[in-house]
Structure formats: structure tokens, C-alpha cells
Structure 1
Amino acid sequence: MRVDGGDAKLGKRLMEQYQCGACHAIPEVAAARGTLGPPLEHFGRRSYIAGAIPNLPEPLTQWLVNPPAMKPGTTMPNLGVSPAEARHMAAYLYQLR
């Protein structure tokens, strides 16, 4: 899936910068072996984000910016990701097929 304004290579670096691998196992991201959150392998094939939100570019970007606003009670914290950074991160996640 294509994300307008998204750069997958930059998105991968941002996943490392925000230490997403502390909670998630993420292919090709060094030391990303977390088990608290779901593994992100094959993320681009998933129908839903967090089991309830359609896996489309705009909802995914909103999720990455502020997960608790999208799904109250989620264990995924708001990490201060900007909308621009979220677009890059989404572009990377959609490459995980």
C-alpha cells in the first residue's frame, strides 16, 4: 500500500529511533525483539490495526501519532511521533508483507 509523503527507508530509521523494537519484533530492525506488543512481520497484509481499526494509510498514521486516542485502553503509548514521521513509519510497515 502506498503512503503519500512516506519514505520507507526513513520510516525504518524512525522505528529504530523511537525504539519500537522494545515492545515489537520487527523484521530487519536491529535488536527489535520485543514481545509486549504484537510482532510486526507481515504487517502490510493485515486487515486491522490493534484488532479493530482498518489498516489503511490515514488510520495507521493517526494510530502512530496517538494510539490511545484511536483505541482507549491500548498499551501502546503516545511516543510523540509527528504526522510526517508517522507517514514514513507507515510506508515502512506496509512493506512488511
Structure 2
Amino acid sequence: MEFNERLRYLIDCEEIKIKDLAPKLCLSASTLSNYAQGIREPDYDTLRRIADYFGVSIDYLLGHKTPAEDDERQLLARYRSFTPSQKRLLLDQAELITRYKVKVND
């Protein structure tokens, strides 16, 4: 996947409009749209802001990924959609899995 495809994918997963996201990234909507369409590419500082916003690495944005990163990104996207009490429940369950070294047959 190219940068613009990954950006578009992240925007779609977040269910946010370019015009609403652009100010959060200190960009104009037209500039962000150009990135998402593959017309332009961002500089390093912009890449960092995009990566920070979506909770992904710059490597991921540039196409360098490991298979686990997609799972991690999906988990993060779902986590962000949870209510505070749902987030606490998920973190509590993760703590139990870690503490008791719960094994699951993969």
C-alpha cells in the first residue's frame, strides 16, 4: 500500500472527514486531500503529526510494516471508539491475561 492509500484507510477507519481532520493536523483541507489522493506527499513534520494522531509509526505510513501492526492498529481504532468504562474493562482484562499468563491455542 502506498502512503496515500494508508492515509485514506486510517481516515476511513476513524470515520472522520478530511475537513474535520485537517485542522487537528495543522493542515488545510485541500492539502490533506492532496495527500489522500496521492497528488502530494507530506514533509517529515507532517508525517510525524499524522502518525501521532492515528497512533501509528511513520514506518507504517511509509509502507514498512510487520503483520502485527495491522492487528495493533485495528485494536487501537476499536479502543478509541470505546466509552471510558469500556476502556477500563478492556485494560483490566489485559492485566489479568498478563498477570496469570493466560495461554490460548492459536
Same fold (TM over 0.5): no
Q: Looking at CA atoms only, which structure, 1 or 2, has the larger radius of gyration?
A: 2
TM-score, normalised via structure 1 length: 0.34
TM-score, normalised via structure 2 length: 0.32
Larger relative strand fraction: 1
Larger relative helix fraction: 2
Higher relative contact order structure (alpha carbons within 8 Å, sequence separation ≥ 6): 1
